[in-house]
Structure 1
Amino acid sequence: MGQKRLLGAAAALCAAAGLTLTAPHTATAAPAPSPSPSSDACSYVSSDFRPTLTYGDTGAAVRQAQCLSNTWGGRPPELAVDGVYDTVMLKKIEWIQVCHGLPRSGVVEGRTWQVLYHPALDCYVPYPA
């Protein structure tokens, strides 16, 4: 009975410290919560459907690109997922392209889709004013 009480107290202390008790005498750090949804949360189109998107386009593929850009580590600004490729989206896509060493075209095509699905942790290029 004393051992169970001791383990319960240890588990409570670990929980208070942000740790999880994984075995009777070991503790590991709890995983950090994700700051944004993963690309799995974006399901407006199949991940295999990667059409070329340009300013003025509309539809589900644009929603997918908007959603994916919001999961990207270099966040600003959060785009409205409304399916309209507007000037705010254009500016963000160009910034994401620059952050990855891609040509600043604003066109979402193969390489840009690739970085949207596999986002960088962060970008050290300042977001344009």
Structure 2
Amino acid sequence: MRRNRLLSAVVAVCATSALGFTVPQTAAADPGSTACSQMPSDLRPTLILGDTGPAVRQAQCLSNMWGGEPPKLVLDGIYGTVMLKKIEWIQVCHGIPQSGVIEDHTWEVLYHPALDCYLPYPD
């Protein structure tokens, strides 16, 4: 069974490559993915401006999975003002109150990002 799933995945990747299709960047944000493996996906502490550590690095990595114009965050583990601006934008894109606080709803959005947000990123 596992071999069949692996074979199916390889065939799908080869087929999409041969046809010129690309997999969206957001696909790597899947909770089962190791693309952002700073901490387990089920550990979701509340984060605010000024927090530091692996949970902040995880949120930075996941927020970088978003497409569009927002700048990529440096994975430094420091919740600074650039990260705050990006988190607030992501919250607005999903209809979450724009608090800048990363809690349950925001974590869920970070792990399952929209393919694109049609709100312009603030200057």
Number of aligned positions between the proteins: 105
Contact 1:73 1:119 in 2 (8 A): no
CA distance in 2 between counterparts of 1:66 and 1:57 reads 12
CA distance in 1 between counterparts of 2:87 and 2:73 reads 11
Matched, 1:72 2:63: no
> Which secondary structure state, in structure 1, belongs to the residue aligned with residue 64 of structure 2?
helix
Where do 5+ consecutive residues of structure 1 fail to align?
A: 1-17, 21-28
CA distance in 1 between counterparts of 2:27 and 2:80 reads 22
Deviations 1:48-102 (CA, angstroms, capped at 9, x unpaired) = 0000000000000000000000012345110001000000000000000000000
CA distance in 1 between counterparts of 2:17 and 2:78 reads 43
Residues 82 and 98 of structure 1: CA distance in aligned 2, closer, same or farther (over 3 Å): same
| Higher RCO structure, 1 or 2 (CA under 8 Å, sep 6+) | 2
**Aligned mate of 1:117, from 83, 99, 111:** 111
Give the TM-score normalised by the residue count of structure 1: 0.74
Q: Which residue pairs with 2:77 in the alignment?
A: 83
Matched residue type, 1:32: T
